[in-house]
Amino acid sequence: ASAAASAADSAAAPAASSSPPQPPPFNDLYAPYLKHATARLEEAFGSDLQPYPIPAGFEKTSAETGKGARKTTVVTTSVAWKTTKLRQVRAASVKAPGALQVLNFVVFPELKYDLPFFGGDLVTLPGGHLIAIDMQPLFHDDAYKARFGKPIAPLFARYKDVLPWGGDFPEEAAQFFSDNFLWTRLQDDSLVETTVFDAFKEYLDAYLDIVINAEEITDPQHLARIKDRHVAYLHYRAEKDPARGMFRRFYGDEWTEEYIHGFLFDLERKIEDGSYKCPV
């Protein structure tokens, strides 16, 4: 019996070797990030965490991309929440095995608080990983930096040496980043799975602590400044969104512009149509 089995194995070997090579299994790098963020939001806010409305057609969208051996399916999914203090918490995930994966996780506070934004932009392309994590300030005066920069300054000091600076970015964007902006380019998957993930968790923890302790602003002039900064930030992000070209290629112009202005950066539209009431 063993001889027959050996003969059968030998006969089968050429056929097996002629099979086309199988692609490596998809390593979903950012699923743990979203799972952790969701759990932390639920832990921090409990029943105050409610679904944020996602326009029809944007919860999950897919398309075919590439040709021949490089053909793959790209899937874009969106999830979103809101709380008493947070106008919109949203995550956009893009996955195309063998081509790219992206997680864009952003927190937009309610406009009656002078809280910074939280942003995690995590991008993996065939050439490597682009990582940006920050608590993005509304203002840059010393008092604001002392309140909101101080909690994450030790984190930045600890991670900046192991996550080297990723290089220049547009000068016009500098106003929207803090002094503790983690921006790096990496080749190693293991760093994304460990060190970057740790940084994301610690930055998010620090941010949620700040949100929980935030006090409502009542001064009309300060509220007006907060509104101006929110509008300026979201307008810039919507107009300069680096994902625009990718989304257009996958889903077309109409879908892309509606996704950007109607969901990802929707404040201006919601103010215009009256569905969001500003404090002033």
Per-residue pLDDT of 190-207, as tens digits, reads 999 999 999 999 999 999
> For position 12, what pLDDT does the model report?
45
Give the chain's mean pLDDT.
91
Confidence of residue 14 (pLDDT cuts 50, 70, 90): very low
pLDDT of 4? 39
**Is it the case that residue 74 has pLDDT exceeding 70?**
yes
pLDDT > 70? residue 22: no
pLDDT at 17 over 60: no
Confidence check: pLDDT of 126 > 70: yes
Average pLDDT score over residue span 248-262: 97
> What pLDDT shows up at residue 18?
53
pLDDT of 243 strictly over 70: yes
The backbone torsions φ and ψ at residue 10, rounded to the nearest 5 degrees and listed phi first, read -65, -40
List of long-range contacts for 238-244, beta carbons under 8 Å, 24+ apart = 238/264, 238/265, 238/268, 240/170, 240/173, 241/265, 243/94, 243/102, 243/104
pLDDT exceeds cutoff 90 at 65: no
Question: How sure is the predictor about 89, in pLDDT bands with cuts at 50, 70 and 90?
Answer: very high
Q: Residue 3 pLDDT more than 50?
A: no
**Rounded average pLDDT over 236-253:** 95
Question: Quick one: pLDDT band at residue 19, thresholds 50, 70, 90?
Answer: low
* pLDDT of 23 over the 70 cut: no
Number of Cβ within a 10 Å radius of residue 242: 11
Output the pLDDT for position 11.
43
